[in-house]
Amino acid sequence: MQKGTQTKTFEQHMEAMAGMSSKEMEAKTAELKKLCICTKCPTYVNTGEKKLLFCATGKSSIIKKEKGCVCPGCPVQKNMALRWDYYCLKGSGKELAGM
Ligand code: SF4
Ligand code: SF4
């Protein structure tokens, strides 16, 4: 199988991941978490939030105010063909895709 995933849509990535075992899913999540750049985001800084990867896990219970979002420049966004922003406030990619 071809390794390039650039042409897959977000929805196709999610469908592919749906076939993963929980162990594979855990490994994938850990890998993506390392790439998450939320800690560099003005909306995140100084809120006391410790969680990451809101594009996968959904809204933050702590972050309430938009101060800019660096998601569009994040490797996870590119990797998973995500196309939204402010996941900490709006919800996960799946939620935003209506999946
Ligand atoms: S897209 Fe945003 S929420 Fe998702 S990993 Fe990147 S910085 Fe974090
Ligand atoms: S999801 Fe976007 S707005 Fe929220 S903390 Fe991460 S980079 Fe900032």
List residues near ligand 2 (CB under 6 A).
38, 41, 43-44, 54, 69-71, 85-88
Burial of residue 52 (number of CB atoms within 10 Å: 0-12, 13-18, 19+): buried
* CA quadruple 57, 59, 63, 69: dihedral sign: positive
Q: How is the chain split into domains, by residue range? A: 10-97
The H-or-E segment that residue 70 falls in is none
User: 0.85 exceeded by the pTM?
Assistant: yes
- Nearest residue (CA) to ligand 1, atom 2: 71
pLDDT tens profile 25-80? 999 999 999 999 999 999 999 999 999 999 999 999 999 999 999 999 999 999 99
- The b/e string for 66-88 (b: 16+ C-beta within 10 A; e otherwise) is eeebbbeebebbeebbbebbbbb
Q: CA-to-CA distance for 91 and 99, rounded, in angstroms? A: 12
